[in-house]
Structure 1
Amino acid sequence: MANFETPDLAFSSKEGYGEDSGLAVYVTQAIDATVKWDDIAWLKKITSLPVVVKGVLT
């Protein structure tokens, strides 16, 4: 989405992302791809909801 802009967000800098859209930059910066098993254990402790973990091997 070329018209998606993120001017008021703390991590809205598109610097270093080339011609990627604002939405692509936002998603890239908002998602932490370094989830560890300790993070899953913490999540299970703070919620009564079922926790499902899906991974992708590369």
Structure 2
Amino acid sequence: AALTLPAGHVVSAAIIAIAPLAGLLSLARREGAMNGDFLGAAIIAGEICALLPLAFHF
């Protein structure tokens, strides 16, 4: 069976996940480079973006 998510949950999850990524990109611009710490944080934020809609669904 396909997993269907309400649109509101997907939008909420996207907003919650985009906020830390925007902060990371802003910090990277101020620091002048993207290093391993930024990459690790971006990976974690991406995982949150993928998993958060599932948490809302159940």
Which TM-score band (shorter chain)? Answer: under 0.3
Structure number having the greater helix percentage: 2
TM-score by length of 1: 0.26
In terms of Rg, which structure is larger? 1
TM-score by length of 2: 0.26
